[in-house]
Chains A and B, each alone.
Chain A
Amino acid sequence: GEEVAQTPKHLVRGEGQKAKLYCAPIKGHSYVFWYQQVLKNEFKFLISFQNENVFDETGMPKERFSAKCLPNSPCSLEIQATKLEDSAVYFCASSQLDSSNYGYTFGSGTRLTVV
């Protein structure tokens, strides 16, 4: 399709529980990006994939965060043992990263609330 589909829209987890978020990129886009938007509106880059391969993970808190993009499956972002500060909206974006048509298409986000 022509939209990036993120599920679920809302997710509530108790502190210490696991959270798993999903992202279906636009068909034909080979790059997927995850961003975290916290209350101050700052978009923090987490990780990107080129197809199934990690492309850039410099923003990823590796202790509790992991992500995958497997063939024929939505990409996923998983947070083990969530903490209160993980409460944020997590956005996924996909792109062709063709220099002549560079630009992301964003999903509508998953709002994670850790209580």
Chain B
Amino acid sequence: AQSVTQPDIHITVSEGASLELRCNYSYGATPYLFWYVQSPGQGLQLLLKYFSGDTLVQGIKGFEAEFKRSQSSFNLRKPSVHWSDAAEYFCAVGAPSGAMRFGAGTRLTVKP
């Protein structure tokens, strides 16, 4: 069965520092992987997605993620965090035939 684990419930980084949010997945075939961001009281915004090809995926707002099949991971990174990046981040795995499964989310706090 598909599943997604985000090991970090809450991460705090200083503005300007680099960021890495971890995501591990369990899936029987080549997964479709996603990162979404949710600001308080808002819906989900897609940051980036991976289907195939280059394992380093570029997304919006300066985010990138790297698919590592050997580690079953799809970690999200940003070289320099801005205060506006404070939000909840969700990793998800899906397949065209069915529903998407989400991780429990990682809350990002940005210190001035």
A-side residues, CB < 8 A to B, are: 33, 35, 40-43, 45, 48, 55-56, 59, 91, 93, 97-100, 102-109
A102 with B44: CB separation less than 8 A: no
Among A48, A93, A102, A107, chain B packs the most CB atoms within 10 A around the CB of A102
Count of CB-CB pairs between chains A and B under 8 Å: 51
Chain A CB within 8 A of B28 CB = no
Given contacts A102-B49, A102-B96, 19 further A-B contacts (CB under 8 A): A35-B102, A40-B104, A43-B90, A43-B102, A45-B101, A48-B99, A55-B98, A56-B98, A56-B99, A59-B99, A91-B43, A91-B44, A98-B96, A99-B51, A102-B32, A104-B46, A106-B43, A108-B43, A109-B43
Q: Tell me the interface secondary structure of chain A in the complex.
A: loop
**On chain B, which size bracket covers the interface?**
20 to 34
What are 28 A-B contacts with C-beta separation under 8 Å? A35-B102, A40-B104, A41-B90, A41-B104, A41-B105, A42-B105, A43-B102, A45-B100, A55-B98, A56-B99, A59-B99, A91-B43, A91-B44, A98-B96, A99-B51, A102-B32, A102-B49, A102-B51, A102-B94, A103-B34, A103-B46, A103-B49, A104-B46, A104-B100, A106-B36, A107-B43, A108-B43, A109-B43
Indicate with 1 or 0, residue by residue over B66-109, a CB within 8 angstroms of chain A CB atoms.
Answer: 00000000000000000000001010001011111110110000
